Amino acid sequence: MREHIRSRQVIEKMRPVIDTETGELIEAPVTKTISYIAGDKDSFYLIYSKFISLIMEDELSLPDVKVFAYLLKTYGVGVPIILSKSIKEIMIEELKLKMSTINNSISSISNLPTPLLFRKASSLYYLNPRFAIKGSSSERDNQMRVLFELGCKNC
């Protein structure tokens, strides 16, 4: 994240002054400029307690969490994810995992009673918005409807 120095004017106090046109006594703001360090706009991921309970109850291994976090960060909820061999090879490099570990994790998070990853067709997946979503919580309901329409009965 790149940091930038930004400035903003704020009203420090009000002081009485005489309006030169009307001769009236009015209150005028006294401003000062404040400089601050600001970073780029962050992306937020909403993680729901159901996901945390899966981690706490040891239903997810560390590679499962890494694969899910990678998919959430890279694709987000509501986006069709094609997990082809070439995509998995990219995941191997970024996550420092073996192909078999990634395949096992995809299978594991897809076969939970309430899956983290919903399989629609061969190599075509969607993330379950019940656990986490990139964006606003209002978008979550829309994505849940989409998953139900796609046929995920236990999402």
Give residue-wise pLDDT tens across range 25-52: 888 888 888 887 766 666 677 888 888 8
The domain made up of 45-150 has a fold known as: Arc Repressor Mutant, subunit A (1.10.10)
Give the mean model confidence (pLDDT) for residues 93-112: 95
Instruction: Select, from the ranges 5-9, 14-18, 93-97, 130-134, the one with the highest average predicted confidence (pLDDT).
Output: 93-97
Collapsed DSSP state (helix, strand, coil) of residue 131? coil
DSSP E strands in 19-154: the ranges are 25-39, 45-47, 81-82, 117-121, 124-127, 132-134
In angstroms, rounded to a whole number, what is the distance separating the alpha carbons of residues 119 and 144?
A: 15
Residue 1, pLDDT > 60, answer: no
Give the mean model confidence (pLDDT) for residues 86-115: 95
Percent of the chain with pLDDT over 70: 94
Residue 132, pLDDT > 70, answer: yes
132 touches 72 (CB < 8 A): yes
Q: What is the pLDDT of residue 28?
A: 87
Q: What is the pLDDT of residue 2?
A: 61
Q: What is the pTM of this model?
A: 0.68
Domain ranges of the chain: 3-39, 45-150
150 by Cβ neighbours in 10 Å (0-12 / 13-18 / 19+) ranks as middle
Give the mean model confidence (pLDDT) for residues 118-129: 90
46 touches 90 (CB < 8 A): no
Q: What is the pLDDT of residue 42?
A: 63
Residues 6+ apart with CB under 8 A from 138: none
